[in-house]
Amino acid sequence: MISRTRRTVSFALAAAVTRTATAALRATAPGGRARWERRNHAGRTVGLYAGPAVAAATALAAGRARPAVGAAVLAAGLCGAYDDIAGAGDPRRGFRAHLSALRDGDVSSGAVKLFGISAAALAAGTVLRKRPPEKVLAGVVIAGTAHLVNLVDVRPGRAAGAVAVLGALGLLHDGAAGELSAA
């Protein structure tokens, strides 16, 4: 079980890293502002700066408690960042559109994110659980939760919500259903 003090320190660390990384990305905007800013449905400019910052901070905090979860969070963040950049003008949205494109031989950035997050979550579940059925179930729960957050969060920078959920699963598990332990 993770102590409350360790959890508190991890959350404080994640908050500090998120704030610092967001400010640094906003100040430097690597690749130019056009890469980091989009217009939303209301015509307002929104930034993508927080997504990578939250992903990195959550991966760091989750990795302190459970390295496998930290790695899964980092992989989810990278997949989300790739989708935000490579899929910037792509009108396809949702599982159906990306799976249809895949069926037609086109690997969309959304498909990369869909399968990348799933693979990372299954790998984390494999490391975290000792018995095979639990490994698959843990991975499915992590991947399903990340994808659910992604579906209901339709703003740019969607990866931030997914990685925060993945990190929370790793940090907040209190052992009620059995302690997650490295195999």
pLDDT at 176: 35
Residues 6+ apart with CB under 8 A from 180: 66, 128, 129, 138, 170, 173
Tokens in use for 101?
Answer: 């494109």
pLDDT at 111: 83
Q: Give me the mean pLDDT over the 26-53 stretch.
A: 86
Strands annotated E in the chain: 37-39, 45-47
Backbone angles phi, psi at 93, to 5 degrees: -140, 145
pLDDT at 26: 92
Average confidence score pLDDT of the chain: 74
| Burial degree of 142 (CB within 10 A; 0-12, 13-18, 19+) | buried
pLDDT at 107: 85
Beta bridge partners of 47: 37
Count of C-beta atoms within a 10 Å radius of residue 113: 27
pLDDT at 154: 52
pLDDT at residue 157 above 70? no
pLDDT at 23: 93
pLDDT at 163: 53
pLDDT at residue 28 above 90? yes
Q: Give me the mean pLDDT over the 14-32 stretch.
A: 90
pLDDT at 172: 44
pLDDT at 37: 86
